[in-house]
């Protein structure tokens, strides 16, 4: 994955058994993948960017400084994102299947934010779902929940 983003998460993702801290770590990990979904189709829409910012701050309880730092790191390293396995393997080791499915739902929210599901976005979400060792029914459930939010 992106070196700078990995460094960012290494600084902020400390091992802890506290469920609040674990939820916070899941949200931080989700943020990096959300950025990848946002930029996968080479068109960054304002609605996707706005959904990303709102998700990072509201859903994930990130400060404004953390949000801007993470977005900037992702932009600087965007050309180097060729492998997601290193990052998804971290998520798979530390989070339950339910948490990984929730993460996938957040990614669908970004993909649908512009009102159009691009084939590259769907392909990336399928790839991430596989890398997170989620079953196909979890993939479909998370997609349907994200679609329901649009209505």
pLDDT confidence of residue 129: 97
Phi-psi region of 134 (alpha: psi -120 to 50; beta: other; left: phi over 0): beta
Domains of the chain, start order: 3-149 (1.10.3680.10)
pLDDT along the chain (151 residues), means of 10: 62 56 64 84 86 81 81 67 74 88 91 91 96 97 94 77
pLDDT confidence of residue 93: 83
pLDDT confidence of residue 16: 47
- b/e sequence 107-137, b meaning 16+ C-beta within 10 Å: bbbbbbbbeebeeebeebbeebbebbebeee
pLDDT confidence of residue 5: 64
Q: Computed from CA positions of residues 150, 128, 130, 15, in that sequence, does the dihedral angle turn out positive or negative?
A: negative
d(CA 50, CA 134): 28
Confirm whether pTM is higher than 0.85. Answer: no
Q: Is 6 exposed, middle or buried (0-12, 13-18, 19+ CB in 10 A)?
A: middle
């Amino acid at each position: 994955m992106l070196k700078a983003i990995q460094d960012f998460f290494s600084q902020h993702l400390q091992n802890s058994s506290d469920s609040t801290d674990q939820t916070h770590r899941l949200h931080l990990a989700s943020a990096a993948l959300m950025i990848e979904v946002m930029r996968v189709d080479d068109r960054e829409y304002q609605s996707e960017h706005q959904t990303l910012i709102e998700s990072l701050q509201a859903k994930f309880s990130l400060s404004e400084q953390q949000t801007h730092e993470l977005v900037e790191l992702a932009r600087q390293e965007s050309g180097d994102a060729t492998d997601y396995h290193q990052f998804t393997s971290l998520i798979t080791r530390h989070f339950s299947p339910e948490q990984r499915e929730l993460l996938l739902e957040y990614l669908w929210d970004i993909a649908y934010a512009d009102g159009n599901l691009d084939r590259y976005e769907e392909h990336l979400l399928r790839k991430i779902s596989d890398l997170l060792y989620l079953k196909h029914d979890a993939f479909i459930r998370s997609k349907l929940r994200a679609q329901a939010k649009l209505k």
